[in-house]
Amino acid sequence: MVREQYLTTTDESGALAPVTDYIYMIGIYGWRKRCLYLFVLLLLIILVVNFALTIWILRVMWFNTEGMGYLQVNEDGLRLEGESDFLFPVYAQEIDSREDSALLVHSSENVTLNARNANGDVTGSVSVGPNQAEGFGQYFNISSNHDENVFYADVNGAVVGKGKLRVTGPEGAIFEHSVRTPMVKAVLNKELKLESPTRSLSMDAPKGVHVKALAGNVDVTAHFDIQLHSTAGLLILDAESVRLPTLPVGEASDEFHGIYNTYYEVCVCPSGKLFISKAAVTSTCSESQDC
């Protein structure tokens, strides 16, 4: 705003002459001044609200000199007390629990652990879901507390390295292919059964196959034939008594049968078939001719 002020001066002739003097007055007046004050007041309110929210966040999140609430920052890394929820993936080099408690990981869907190389490619993964557990890696190894190999598996096979492999299911174990083991043994007071419902069952060993029952019987059952074959050895039946209860009985003459009615003799056919015939003073196998 400019205001004009008129002053009177005297010239050389002594006459009065008016002189115009301009005075500049700088400022904001009217509605502009009120808008400026309102804007400053609004900034002050926003500043106070931000300061109050900052104090509230610090109190709620429990910020302190050591960390944030149960999350403490130290030289070794982060220390988290209590239960925590993670909404996104967690990247860490090592996760340890306290010495007096276990480490529990829960998820409503699944829990996945991935190991990556320098290029970011996944080299190993373990995923536990609601219906199944999956693992991905070059090999799988389980060791004991004494660093002894308990179980090892890779593309070439699986190895049980310590103690025994015990199968406790009521139906036993089913193997689709061959099994190589030095011993197959049943648990105490239980029966051991080796069965192939639709195919053949074979046991091979370069130095012999031993079947032993210390406190029971050994039963071999087949729908068709049972063959005991030795390529370069003998078939030895070493027992206190050997019984063949269902051998066919040959028909011999009735001579001397009254004396030897309860005695029989074992006959062998040229084909190898066995049968029994009622014993007499002389052999009755030729008379029976049950071959």
Write the CB contacts of 289 (distance below 8 Å, at least 6 apart in sequence). Answer: 250
What is each CA distance from 290 to 79, 267, 278, in whole angstroms? 89, 9, 12
Write out pLDDT tens, residues 166-195: 777 777 777 777 777 777 877 777 778 888
Report the distance separating Cα 285 and Cα 264, nearest Å: 10
Residue 283 has pLDDT above 70, yes or no: yes
Per-residue pLDDT at 22: 55
pTM surpassing 0.85? no
Report the distance separating Cα 195 and Cα 24, nearest Å: 116
What is the maximum span of the chain, computed from C-alpha positions, in angstroms? 195
Residue 2's pLDDT band (cuts 50, 70, 90): very low
Which residue, among 106, 85, 105, has the nearest Cα to 95 in the 3D structure? 105
Residue 288's pLDDT band (cuts 50, 70, 90): low
Residue 163's pLDDT band (cuts 50, 70, 90): low
Which of 130-139, 214-223, 229-238: highest mean pLDDT?
130-139
Buried residues in 7-43 as b, exposed as e (16+ CB within 10 A): eeeeeeeeeeeeeeeeeeeeeeeeeeeeeeeeeeeee
**Average pLDDT of every residue of the chain:** 76
Element (H, E) at 59: helix 31-60
Per-residue pLDDT at 255: 55
Phi, psi of 277 (to 5 degrees): -140, 150
Decide: residue 211, CB within 10 A, 0-12 exposed, 13-18 middle, 19+ buried: exposed
Per-residue pLDDT at 45: 96
What integer is the mean pLDDT of 76-88?
A: 77
110 versus 75: the higher-pLDDT residue is 110
Residue 67's pLDDT band (cuts 50, 70, 90): confident
Write out pLDDT tens, residues 123-141: 888 888 888 888 888 888 8
Question: Beta 133-136 vs 122-128: how paired, if at all?
Answer: antiparallel
Per-residue pLDDT at 11: 53
Our CA angle for 54, 56, 60, nearest 5°, is 120
Residue 23's pLDDT band (cuts 50, 70, 90): low
Percentage of the chain beyond pLDDT 70 is 83
* Residue type present at position 11: D
